[in-house]
A = this chain, B = another copy of it.
């Protein structure tokens, strides 16, 4: 159940971990640091916090993996991001780099209901058209 929600910062870390998982064998702190443009220390502190929230598994000096709950939430954010970016580019005609930047912020701001209806709308508006 745990239907609580997380801060944009927490969601950014989760999304980054999921994204990096697809590129690397194991996700290290330094990867997140580079990907998100924050210090290694900031990542270290954040990982302690995400671990305490049950969103990742992370032993001292070892690599980082998502728990089931962390993965579910990360996937939701990543899907929202991709959906919104596609909407902005393909339906509104927004420039790709602006769309990417806007999607990074918008992804944290929509409810489940809205996300579902938005996705359906995009799909029906791109299939036809």
New A-B pairs, 12, CB < 8 Å, besides A102-B110, A102-B114 = A92-B118, A92-B121, A94-B113, A98-B111, A99-B114, A102-B109, A102-B111, A105-B108, A105-B109, A106-B106, A106-B109, A106-B110
State which residues 42-71 of A face B: CB under 8 Å: none
- A-side interface residues toward B, CB under 8 Å? 88, 91-95, 98-99, 101-102, 105-106, 108-111, 113-114, 117-118, 121
Complex copy number for this chain? 2
The 7 A-B residue pairs with the shortest CB-CB distance, nearest first, are A105-B109, A92-B117, A106-B109, A102-B114, A94-B114, A98-B113, A109-B109
Q: In the assembled complex, which residues on chain B have CB atoms less than 8 Å from the CB atom of A118?
A: 92
Nearest-CB distance from A80 to chain B (Å)?
12
Identify 25 residue pairs between A and B in the complex whose beta-carbon atoms are under 8 Å apart, listed by A's number: A88-B114, A91-B121, A92-B114, A92-B117, A92-B118, A92-B121, A93-B117, A94-B113, A94-B114, A94-B117, A95-B113, A98-B113, A98-B114, A99-B114, A101-B111, A102-B109, A102-B111, A102-B114, A105-B108, A105-B109, A105-B110, A106-B106, A106-B110, A108-B109, A109-B109
